Amino acid sequence: MRILGVDPGSRRTGYGCVEFLAGKLRYIEHGTLFVMQKEKALEDRLYAIYTELTKIIEKLRPEVMAIEKVFFAKSALSSLKLGQAQAAAIVAGKAASLSVAQYSPTEVKKVVGGYGQIAKDRVFYMVKLLLSEPVLQEGLDASDALALAICHAYAVRLQLGLSKKKQSISEALAHKAVKS
């Protein structure tokens, strides 16, 4: 499964792509979309997020997008802008027929770093460690996006493990019922 992680922002949007095969993560690509310019209106920046992510999706061909849930920012206006940037990214994913999974920053930090309140620089370090990719650059937005993709990969692995466990329990019960 190829997963595109997106850390949306109205000024910078990070993206990161990983592949999850046979329980192993493989790094594909990461980067940051710098959509802020003083002369650009918010609607132009939102359109830039949409168009640039559309190009990235066409290039990388992910099957799913993992995106950060909107959380409370420093102000209502910041939260609104963040939500709009998230919406632009989600529309790009849905236009490409991707399924979209949303995770809170705390969920991502817990999965990647083992603790929901770790600092961003520790997330960056853990992403490098988990992907065995010593050359990760581009800053914290891109590493947060990779962390989102990693979080989704582990969430899928957990769901598959639970469904296999449920299936084997169901099979055992059905087998037991046949014997009775």
Identity at 34, one-letter amino acid code: F
Tokens encoding 99: 């399924």
Residues with a catalytic annotation lie at: 7, 68, 141
- 3-state secondary structure (DSSP) of residue 162: helix
pLDDT digits (tens, 9 = 90+) for 19-73: 998 888 999 999 999 887 666 888 999 999 999 999 999 999 999 999 998 776 6
pLDDT for 172: 40
pLDDT digits (tens, 9 = 90+) for 110-151: 988 888 888 878 888 888 888 887 666 656 788 899 999 999
Whole-number average pLDDT of the chain: 82
Domains, the chain: 2-179 (3.30.420.10)
Tokens encoding 117: 């309140």
Please state the pTM of the whole predicted model. 0.83
Residue 99: in which H helix or E strand, if any? Answer: strand 99-103
Q: Which residues contact 154 (CB under 8 A, 6 or more apart)?
A: 111
Helix 42-60 × helix 76-95 angle, to 10°: 40
